């Protein structure tokens, strides 16, 4: 950790202290500019109340965020970043399927509640 700082952002290798590489707390392929990927994901999901949806959305952002940085840092051809874009797309498709299933389930539950309410009025 940097001398004199106890703030986690000031850890060695973080965005604000890049002198020492830290592949666990602040890997370079998740940092860029003034914000780390994990902080962007946290802000995006702050009001998300569905854990699985949040997981999928976080994965999409993660893989999209890092596709260029990781390939550049590894000195790979830019096309190498294609794998991360394909992973992001895979999670995107999962999220789309989940969203359809969730809405179908919610509609079914609302329909059952409405049916019960109507039956109570009749009977």
List per-residue pLDDT tens for the chain, 123 residues long: 334 445 555 555 444 455 556 666 666 666 666 788 888 899 999 999 999 999 999 999 999 988 877 655 556 555 667 888 999 999 999 999 999 999 999 999 888 888 888 888 886
The whole-angstrom separation of Cα 51 and Cα 57 is 10
Does 62 fall in a domain?
Answer: yes
Q: Does residue 56 contact residue 98 with C-beta atoms inside 8 Å?
A: yes
Nearest of 91, 96, 45, 88 to residue 63 by alpha carbon: 88
Does 3 fall in a domain?
Answer: no
Please tell me the number of Cα atoms within 13 Å of 62 on its side-chain side. 13
Q: How many CB atoms lie within 10 A of CB 32?
A: 15
Can you say whether residue 26 is alpha, beta or left, with left for phi > 0 and alpha for psi between -120 and 50 degrees? beta
Does 97 fall in a domain?
Answer: yes
0.85 cut: is pTM over it? no
Structural domain count of the chain? 1
Token pair listed for 58: 């976080």
Q: Which residue has the tokens 């999209």?
A: 64
- The parent domain of residue 57 ranges over 34-122
Does 86 fall in a domain?
Answer: yes
* ∠ CA 9-13-17, rounded to 5°: 60
Q: Any residues with CB less than 8 A from the CB of 123 and at least 6 apart, and which?
A: none
Q: Does residue 60 contact residue 92 with C-beta atoms inside 8 Å?
A: yes
The whole-angstrom separation of Cα 74 and Cα 4 is 32
């Amino acid at each position: 950790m940097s001398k004199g700082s106890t703030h986690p952002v000031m850890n060695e290798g973080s965005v604000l202290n890049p002198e020492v590489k830290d592949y666990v707390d602040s890997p370079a392929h998740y940092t860029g500019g003034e914000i780390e990927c994990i902080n962007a994901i946290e802000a995006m999901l702050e009001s998300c109340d569905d854990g699985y949806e949040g997981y999928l959305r976080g994965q999409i952002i993660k893989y999209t965020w890092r596709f260029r940085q990781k390939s550049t840092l590894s000195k790979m051809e830019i096309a190498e970043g294609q794998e991360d874009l394909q992973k992001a797309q895979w999670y995107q498709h999962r999220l789309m399927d989940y969203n359809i299933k969730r809405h179908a389930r919610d509609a079914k539950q609302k329909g059952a509640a409405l049916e019960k309410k109507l039956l109570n009025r009749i009977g």
